[in-house]
Amino acid sequence: MSERVTLNRDGAIAFIEICRPERHNALDVATAEAFLERCREVDRDDGVRAVVLAGQGASFGVGGDLNELKADGPATARKIIAPLHEAIALLTAMDAPVVAKLRGIVAGGSMSLALACDLAIASEDVRFNFAYTNAGTNADLGGSWHLPRVVGLRNALQIALLNETIDATRAHALGLVNKVVLADQLDAEVASLAQRLANGPTQAMGRMKRLLRQSSTSGLRDHLALELSSFVESAGTSDFREAVDAILARRPPRFTGA
């Protein structure tokens, strides 16, 4: 199981990589279970201050493994989707920002996985396709929740119902990715961004992540209350005190994530 998804650390950055390049990183039961275990490991590690999610080889991923799903669709679907849903809940709730490193094919469930990340950097060769209705099914892995929030309802309906392939330029225009870079610059660009995030005030970033994700589903008064309680919590952290001292002293802050 562990070979299906690897977890490596570089300082405070955790790199999670799906490793089925021979199947374009298709998501089968073993991969789903391994991915959840890696996410649990990251969630338990207080030293992680940024996460990079990638797929090994030429593509990020093609979504669910249709060869495995065709044998017993309902039972297998549940075994694949349930652990991935738990993993996505962990990734979106953790303080550490999560960056998707995207290249090649990003389709179906793999596209939904990328949408669940906080930021996305793509190679110029990236190609998105939601693909679900082509397979006679609806979205999973939070795809139908994240997609309209990222691109707007009308664009989401077009992407989901027509299953048109979206190239890098269009993906950037729609907001599916934050930045597009040359293929040979992708690794360096993502590493630089991850380090920048890892150097930041991790708890404050986590609170900001959660506030922004909740903003479209909470009423204004409820959200104002959430902002207040979150700000008060942030004001009690070491990073807040360091930020104030740094601003007043006109020097760069040295955040520790505490």
Average pLDDT across the chain, whole number: 96
Query: How much is the pLDDT for 2?
Result: 52
Query: How much is the pLDDT for 1?
Result: 46
pLDDT digits (tens, 9 = 90+) for 91-146: 999 999 999 999 999 999 999 999 999 999 999 999 999 999 999 999 999 999 99
Indicate the pairing of strand 13-18 with strand 5-10. antiparallel
pLDDT digits (tens, 9 = 90+) for 2-36: 589 999 999 999 999 999 999 999 999 999 999 99
What ranges do the domains of the chain cover?
A: 5-198, 202-249
Residues 128, 165: contact at Cβ < 8 Å?
A: yes
Fold of 5-198: 2-enoyl-CoA Hydratase; Chain A, domain 1 (3.90.226)
- Is it true that domain 202-249 has CATH number 1.10.12? yes
What percent of the chain has a predicted confidence (pLDDT) above 70?
99
Strand pairing partners for 106?
61, 128
For residue 73, pLDDT over 90 is answered with no
202-249 matches 5-198 in CATH topology: no
Residues 39, 53: contact at Cβ < 8 Å?
A: no
Q: What is the mean pLDDT of residues 51-75?
A: 93
pLDDT confidence tier of residue 54, bands split at 50, 70 and 90: very high
Residues 49, 257: contact at Cβ < 8 Å?
A: yes
pLDDT digits (tens, 9 = 90+) for 208-242: 999 999 998 889 999 999 999 999 999 999 999 99
Using CA of residue 109, residue 205, residue 48, residue 195, what is the dihedral sign? positive
pTM of the model: 0.94
Q: What is the mean pLDDT of residues 240-247?
A: 96
